[in-house]
C-alpha cells in the first residue's frame, strides 16, 4: 500500500510532467516552479509521515496555483485531435481531483 507521502509526490511529479510537456503553448512557469518546490519540501522530510505544519504549507502552495484568472483551473490542453485532447484533459482533471482529495484529508 502506498502511503500519503509517496502518493502525493507521485501525483505532483505526474502533474509537473503534464505542465512541462505543454509549457511551449502555455505560460506555466509559475506552476512548474511551485510544484518543484513542493516536491523538494516532501523529499527533504526524512520521516515517512509528513508533519501537519508541512501538509498545511503544501496545501497553501497548491492552492496558490488556483488564482481567479489564468490559474490551474483555467488550464486546458488544446490539440487538433479531439480524442487525444479529451483524454489529456480528463487525465489532467483527474490528477487535480486526486491531489485535492489527498491534501484535504
- pLDDT of the residue at 1: 47
- Residue 10's contacts (CB-CB under 8 Å, 6 or more residues apart) are 2
- pLDDT of the residue at 69: 82
Which cell numbers hold the place of 22? 505543454
Give whole-number Cα distances, 97 to 15, 39, 53, 68, 100, in Å: 11, 18, 22, 18, 5
Q: Is residue 81 pLDDT above 60, yes or no?
A: yes
Average pLDDT over residues 74-82: 90
Spatial CA neighbour of 54 closest among 17, 8, 19, 94: 8
Q: Is residue 60 pLDDT above 80, yes or no?
A: yes
Which cell numbers hold the place of 85? 485532447
- The pLDDT mean for the chain works out to 91
Residue 57 pLDDT grade (very low, low, confident, very high; cuts 50, 70, 90):
very high
The H or E element that residue 5 is part of is helix 4-21
Which cell numbers hold the place of 95? 490528477
Amino acid at each position: 500500500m502506498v502511503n500519503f507521502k509517496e502518493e502525493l509526490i507521485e501525483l505532483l511529479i505526474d502533474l509537473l510532467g503534464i505542465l512541462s510537456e505543454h509549457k511551449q503553448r502555455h505560460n506555466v512557469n509559475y506552476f512548474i516552479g511551485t510544484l518543484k518546490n513542493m516536491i523538494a519540501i516532501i523529499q527533504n522530510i526524512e520521516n515517512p509521515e509528513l508533519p501537519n505544519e508541512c501538509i498545511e504549507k503544501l496545501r497553501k502552495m497548491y492552492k496558490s496555483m488556483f488564482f481567479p484568472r489564468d490559474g490551474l483551473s483555467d488550464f486546458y490542453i488544446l490539440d487538433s485531435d479531439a480524442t487525444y485532447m479529451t483524454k489529456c484533459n480528463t487525465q489532467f482533471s483527474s490528477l487535480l481531483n486526486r491531489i485535492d482529495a489527498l491534501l484535504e484529508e
